[in-house]
Amino acid sequence: MSQKFPEVQGGGSLIIAWQVKEKNVLVVGGGERGIQVAAGRILHALNADARVTVVCPSSGLNDEVAFRIAEKQVSHIDRNFEPQDLDAADMVLCAVDDPEASTRVWKLCKERRIPANIADVPSECDFYFGSVHRDGPLQVMVSTNGNGPKMASIIRKKIAGTLPDNTGAAIENVGLLRKKLREVAPDLKDGAKRMKWMSRVCESWSLEDLVEMNEADMSQLLDYYKSGEVPSLKAIRDTQ
């Protein structure tokens, strides 16, 4: 009986896409190495549409973080971290060169139940940053659970190298088609049929076809939803 089910492999992380849009992310930076790491953390948070506040003395900023502050992409508190900085934080990303200061931030976050990542200290992290490949809506993350960040980067590059060009554009078109399909068949009872039909589209059309598909093609394709058919892109255009 047990052979019918996947084997449990402990020691992993729960890999999820954490929605932080419009959430308050506090970045605590400091030190030459720390502010470099903080710059990467800031970009990750901004890419996820978070509201970012950076706590770091101006003297400790690097060019990238100073640029984002000057462009008002992030808010800046020009001093070292203080406990009251956590009052409005939904998430904390700490990257400072002082281990004692890092642990202080971690303990305060635990007291307030604020999820935190303390750079380079896996034992003081509620979550890890992986190595991410980004192509429009496509995000592929490789995590080594804090064991080898450089290995994560190497593996991520190998995976990215196998992906066809324009994968992101194809995904954007599939997303638009799904949105239009929900307008055509909005009832909850149609959920299983919608999923099955969209799966057939993704499996039967080539990546190139999905990239090339325009809104006129989508309208034509949606006419076949009720019957469950999935004609080719060529067949659709031959009827236009």
All structural domains of the chain, each given as residue ranges with its CATH number in brackets, are 24-129 (3.40.50.720), 130-163 (3.30.160), 167-238 (no CATH)
pLDDT tens track of the chain, all 240 residues?
A: 557 888 898 988 888 889 999 999 999 998 899 999 999 999 999 999 999 999 999 999 999 999 999 999 999 999 999 999 999 999 999 999 999 999 999 999 999 999 999 998 989 999 988 899 999 999 999 998 878 888 999 999 999 999 988 899 999 999 999 999 999 999 989 899 999 999 999 999 999 999 999 999 999 999 999 999 999 999 999 887
Strands 75-77 and 51-55: parallel
In the block, tokens 């469950």 appear at 228
Q: Are 161 and 145 in contact (CB under 8 A)?
A: no
d(CA 40, CA 28): 12
Q: What is the pLDDT of residue 134?
A: 93
Residue 120 bears catalytic tag? yes
Q: What is the pLDDT of residue 2?
A: 56
Q: What is the pLDDT of residue 62?
A: 95
Q: Are 168 and 135 in contact (CB under 8 A)?
A: yes
Among candidate residues 90, 97, 120, 209, the one labeled active-site is 120
Q: What is the pLDDT of residue 5?
A: 87
Q: What is the pLDDT of residue 1?
A: 54
In the block, tokens 């992380």 appear at 13
DSSP string, 45-94: HHHTT-EEEEE--GGG--HHHHHHHHTTSSEEE-SS--GGGGTT-SEEEE
d(CA 238, CA 240): 6
DSSP annotation of 125 reads B
Q: What is the pLDDT of residue 239?
A: 83
Q: What is the pLDDT of residue 148?
A: 86
Q: Are 204 and 229 in contact (CB under 8 A)?
A: no
DSSP annotation of 69 reads H
Q: Cα separations (Å) of 119 from 60, 71, 122, 150, 155?
A: 17, 25, 8, 14, 21
